[in-house]
Amino acid sequence: MPENKMKFCPWCGNRLKMFEISGKERSICSDARCGYVFWNNPAPVVAAIVEHNGNVILVRSHGWPEGWFGLVTGFLEKGEMPETAVLREVKEETGLDGKVGAYIGMYPFYERNQLIIAYHVLSGGGEILLDSDELEDYREVPIEKVKPWPMGTGAALRDWLRTLGYEREFSKSPRL
């Protein structure tokens, strides 16, 4: 999991120190009056298996290795429910309106200290207008050909495919 790289308290500016709380080493403010504790809680992330014209939309973020594609994802914002967030992310990243078809599940992504909340989203049709600030490319892969990958959102895709009767082994990577 990502470590706390901060050296100073974001609330009062005093130096942070390590202290054991709830059986774990945590960064806390050196000023006992402040009370700041860096808990390092996972960030909630929504993921969408976007079904569009009989295909699954896979996207490629800037900086990903060549050929790697994944699900539409994004952070849950303050005051937002996951179902609302996943539809917002689909709209922002692909330009598609959609509706939640089903909740798929929750998946830990320890490498990024995230908790992924995955949904199947049915697009309302239309043209894909990729958000080029966030994404570099996309692919439309027929449902019967899409393969899950062993990390991040790949388990959600595998579980969704199972609901359709497809039993798929993980590919080696999210490379298409």
The domain segmentation of the chain, as residue ranges, is: 1-40, 43-163
DSSP of the chain: -PPP---B-TTT-PBEEEEEETTEEEEEESSTTT--EE--PPEEEEEEEEEETTEEEEEEETTSPTTB-B-EEEEPPTT--HHHHHHHHHHHHH---EEEEEEEEEEEEGGGTEEEEEEEEEE--S-----TTTEEEEEEEETTT----SSTTHHHHHHHHHHTT---PPPSSSB-
User: Does the pLDDT value for residue 2 go beyond 60?
Assistant: no
pLDDT at 61: 94
| 1, pLDDT greater than 90 | no
| Superfamily holding 43-163 | Nucleoside Triphosphate Pyrophosphohydrolase (3.90.79.10)
> Across residues 69-76, what is the average pLDDT?
96
What's the rounded mean pLDDT across residues 40-51?
Answer: 96
136 in catalytic set: yes
For residue 176, the model assigns a pLDDT of 65
Q: Which of 83, 136, 140, 167 is catalytic?
A: 136
Q: What's the pTM? A: 0.86
